[in-house]
Chains A and B, each alone.
Chain A
């Protein structure tokens, strides 16, 4: 069981594995305090309504961007249409680095880097979800990938010449000019956002079959090379 072994790993060294997969171990009471970071924009619990951000009841198993009367960003709606469902995995990725999962999300929040804090927060939010699929151990399809990117991956120095060659494959769909005529532009992105977004497709946190397939066969060096090339493409 990949999941079980992950939990063990994170017990031993919390900083290696995505803490939220140890959410069985997340402490909802601690999470309640962490939720204060969210409460300026989000309500949860009885009578919660949409405020700056959508209300967060019944969040687990919910499609992204689906609350009626809430004005979402274009990209959040796109991700929902593509099939992004809030699960312990996707929420963990979103709360860690919102923009890396949903580019240009309207949620102006830097993210929570500490996996244990995220695990506690999600344990708290699960109190307001009655969907049994919210319990990762009961989710047979849980892939249990550890999505925290190894800092070594982010530190990789990309080879822009290789990046240019690899990018030619992307430019069948993503215009070099960065224009969006139905497929988003990806030129001139900060390297880190680019790398994290590509790994999010590779790990199937971001939905979308084409991009999961394209990213799925790129290794860490190739993703770094692409990031190095696209960063300077105006």
Chain B
């Protein structure tokens, strides 16, 4: 068992999970075995629910390189000074205690004929059902002048953890009256309101610490999520600070020079002090390596999140091309529960209930000024289709906006407990 030394030993109960591990690898003979790749919003939820609901009937292995998951959700609030980095970190101890075999490694390939996944640390793990929730990677060459080598000079901060800290450090080091630039991504991308919540939080920070600083946003889109709510908020709280350049004004015609720290928008060169480049996105690379993508994303069946390419491989969250749901942590968590129910049913014959999905995305514009947008969805033969939805209105009372913000705090605690266990 080359794997054993990498098996997570976090809590007493995790030891029990280790002891149970040998049966895990007896796939085909003993219990059915589910392998989950990626311990984020989709993967952590799916692993925990399958283990919890099958009550030991299904062996579950979660493979995730990091020992600590830093959420992207609420990372903008960290930039704004409303959260500490520690508030965003979550360990896998609770998941291991729930009976999941947690392996800290990186999956480098999938052999669909042998039904095994290969690990960077060597060895392979067999599966009966494979769930991929690898999040996103960036499309090469999406922003002229930028590549992953430039991510220190011009951070994306669109994956959690160190990139977020780097962007915050650069923000704090900005010279008085300096310029913060953002290159916003084209659709589809994770967290549609994310870039604009970030602009709000950066503005909140600058207003208090560097009030003559400016923010420019180069956007390849003509409109964006919750646009009227954000623009109302920017006018109310950060008048004159934010310059949003949409598609109509050449926001899509952009290049950057990370050495010179310049951004060129529609031919006009601007010197900037911080540049947050959020490039176009695609499914996490392992989905492509598994051969379940078509273009940038992995098409799935709405009823159970199984891929169109392989009925034993499921893709959750940002990496999936599923229809109407936005790419969010909430959506990934919602899809994971539908998938967990279907996978358990397929492996043990337990009852499979109809798919129900939902999403809500809260954004903070300024202190106690929260807004939200949400919808419910159902599975059709063709896709995950929207049923009903709502969005905050402009001109809402301060009390309602404060209540909305407090609710988002409740949601953050709720979803992270739901993902990682108590």
Contacts and interface: CB of A to CB of B under 8 A. Distances in A.
B333 A172 contact: yes
B207 interface: no
A224 to B, nearest CB: 15
A217 B375 CA distance: 11
Contact of B414 (A82, A83, A183, A214): A183
A213 B334 contact: no
Q: What's the dominant secondary structure at chain B's contact region?
A: helix
A24 B330 CA distance: 46
Contacts of A177: 417, 422
Nearest to B406: A182
B400 A171 contact: no
Contact of B397 (A81, A165, A179, A180): A81
A125 B314 CA distance: 59
Given A168-B49, A175-B413, A217-B376, A78 B353 contact: no
A182 B407 contact: yes
B124 interface: no
A166 to B, nearest CB: 7
Q: What's the dominant secondary structure at chain A's contact region?
A: helix
B399 A181 contact: no
A38 interface: no
B400 A183 contact: no
Interface stretch (B27-35, B243-251, B382-390): B382-390
Interface string A200-220: 000000000110111011000
Interface string B8-48: 00000000000000000000000000000000000000000
B358 A174 contact: no
B330 A172 contact: yes
A159 to B, nearest CB: 10
Nearest to B415: A172
Interface string A78-108: 1011110000000000000000000000000
Contacts of A212: 390
B408 interface: yes
Interface in A179-234: 179-183, 209-210, 212-214, 216-217
A83 B404 CA distance: 12
Given A168-B49, A182-B409, A214-B376, A209 B390 contact: yes
Contacts of A174: 414
Contact of A168 (B337, B387, B402, B417): B337
Nearest to A182: B410
Contacts of B414: 171-175, 181, 183
B356 A169 contact: yes
Contacts of A172: 330, 333-334, 358, 411, 414-415, 418
A165 B353 contact: yes
A209 B373 CA distance: 10
A180 B417 CA distance: 13
Nearest to B337: A168
Nearest to A180: B410
B5 interface: no
A161 interface: yes
Contacts of B403: 78, 81-82
A83 B53 CA distance: 38
Given A171-B414, A210-B372, A214-B376, A81 B402 contact: yes
Contact of B413 (A81, A181, A214, A216): A181
Interface in A143-173: 161-162, 164-166, 168-169, 171-173
A175 B411 CA distance: 9
A186 to B, nearest CB: 11
Contacts of A164: 53
Contacts of A217: 356, 376, 387-388
A181 B409 contact: yes
Interface string A46-87: 000000000000000000000000000000001011110000
B262 interface: no
B410 A181 contact: yes
A137 B237 CA distance: 42
A135 interface: no
Given A165-B341, A210-B390, 16 more contacts: A81-B397, A81-B400, A168-B337, A169-B358, A172-B330, A172-B334, A172-B358, A173-B411, A177-B417, A181-B414, A182-B406, A182-B410, A183-B407, A210-B407, A213-B389, A217-B356
9 contacts: A165-B341, A169-B337, A172-B333, A172-B418, A176-B418, A177-B422, A210-B360, A210-B374, A213-B390
Interface of A: 78, 80-83, 161-162, 164-166, 168-169, 171-177, 179-183, 209-210, 212-214, 216-217
